[in-house]
Copies of this chain bind each other. A is one copy, B any other.
Amino acid sequence: MRVLITGVDGYLGWPLAHALARRGHLVAGIDALLRREWVAEMGSQSATPILDIDSRLTVFREVHGEDLRFVPGNVCNYDLVEEAIRDFMPDCVVHLGQMPSAPYSMIDAHHAVFTHQNNIVGTLNLLFALRDLAPNAHLVKLGTMGEYGTPNIDIPEGFFDIEYRGRRDRLPFPRQPNSMYHLTKVHDSANIHFACRVWGLTCTDVMQGVVFGTRIDALNGDDRLLTRFDVDQAFGTVINRFCAQAVIGMALSPYGRGHQRRGFLSLRDSIQCLALIIENPPDGAGEYRILNQFHETFDVYDLALVVQGTARDMGIDVEIKTVENPRIEAERHYYNPDHQKLFDLGYRPTRTVREEIRETLEDLGRFAERIRLCRGAILPSIRWRERKPRPSPVGGF
């Protein structure tokens, strides 16, 4: 299969390219390398040492005996997207080329506007280019479980059948996202739904939980193939931040009381799921398939306890110290999302969360010096309500 990955230089894009190449697919990629700049803007860098893009491409060829056909550039440039689709004629486009951080989108009006423009325009360009040049290709788009927010009812996979005042319909499940970033993903979902309904495009919109971890098998223990691993307040996801904190002996820092409940899955399983989705497109043209992609739900404080316990087994003692929640979000809430469709496609979780956390801690141990350099970027200073970041308070509560 010919698979075009936008955002191929990213946390998911890079390991996905390797996994697909190992499975015999032909891979092309687009990336403007902006993630590297955003993380630098946050005063941080990848905890894992990653190669520059040219070296990555050289190693890719060496490992797989096949080029990753790389287009440097931005998916917000329509002509570039059109040319990439026309040249490569993909069977599948995996769209990961977006700004993925909630805190980054909440810094101020300019970052909120940037996030909207960057994320929405890239997706629109892909939808129009597919409509006009490759209407039978399958678009796989990364959404987020955060699109749904935390309603007081079960969360289905995208659509639900309801009765209202005695009549019935099958409708998109209402979204109540909690950051400017999450809003852009909701807007994308509405735009993609339109493209399927009106233009007959075939798309899978992946409502992904929080991804964590360092490894996938296709990376094969070869350090030149390492994917990035961010630990800063904006681009580091919560388990990754806890693991980084543990490795440098810094207290783990759940936000608020830490009872926010979310769905999680490992990097390894995220890539497994994406490969399953790519190799099993929806049956019918014009289908808009939504999948909820996560392994288990946890409350954030419980995860801190797991990281603390696993670290202790490895001889590292760390405290847990809650910090004032910089976000506005429910800290205790009902949370019961469905996640059956990926299991039906063949998804089998490869590790328990505890096992995966152990591997992550082991891997990060080698990079403790690099993490120490990012130490000042880990705790939250971007707040949901105010424009000017304030210093975070001393201690927890």
Contacts and interface: CB of A to CB of B under 8 A. Distances in A.
Contacts of A153: 162, 164-165, 167-169, 171
30 contacts: A78-B113, A109-B125, A112-B124, A113-B125, A116-B120, A116-B121, A116-B124, A117-B117, A117-B121, A120-B187, A124-B180, A128-B387, A151-B169, A151-B171, A153-B162, A153-B164, A153-B168, A153-B171, A154-B164, A154-B165, A154-B167, A172-B175, A174-B174, A175-B190, A176-B197, A177-B194, A183-B194, A187-B187, A198-B328, A198-B384
Contacts of A30: none
Contacts of A162: 153, 162, 164
Contacts of A180: 124, 191, 194
Given A116-B124, A117-B121, A160 B167 contact: no
Q: Which 6 A-B pairs have the closest CB atoms?
A: A109-B128, A152-B169, A171-B174, A187-B187, A153-B164, A198-B328
Count of this chain's copies in the oligomeric assembly:
2
Contact of A177 (B117, B128, B190, B328): B190
Nearest to A162: B162
Contact of A178 (B169, B177, B194): B194
A108 interface: yes
A292 B191 CA distance: 23
Nearest to A125: B109
A337 to B, nearest CB: 12
A180 B191 CA distance: 8
A193 interface: yes
Contacts of A113: 78, 121, 124-125
B178 A198 contact: yes
A205 to B, nearest CB: 15
B172 A174 contact: yes
A173 interface: yes
Contacts of A172: 174-176
Interface of A: 78, 108-110, 112-113, 116-117, 120-121, 124-125, 128-129, 132, 151-154, 160, 162, 164-165, 167-169, 171-178, 180, 183, 186-187, 190-191, 193-194, 197-199, 328, 334, 384-385, 387
A168 B153 CA distance: 6
A224 to B, nearest CB: 38
A78 B175 contact: no
Nearest to A109: B128
Contacts of A199: 328, 385
A129 B387 CA distance: 10
Contacts of A168: 152-153
A83 to B, nearest CB: 13
A169 B334 CA distance: 11
A174 B290 CA distance: 15
A387 B113 CA distance: 28
Contacts of A194: 177-178, 180, 183
A230 B129 CA distance: 32
Given A113-B125, A178-B198, 13 more contacts: A116-B121, A116-B124, A120-B187, A132-B387, A152-B169, A153-B162, A153-B165, A153-B168, A153-B169, A171-B174, A172-B176, A176-B193, A183-B190
A341 B67 CA distance: 62
Contact of A108 (B128, B151, B167, B193): B128
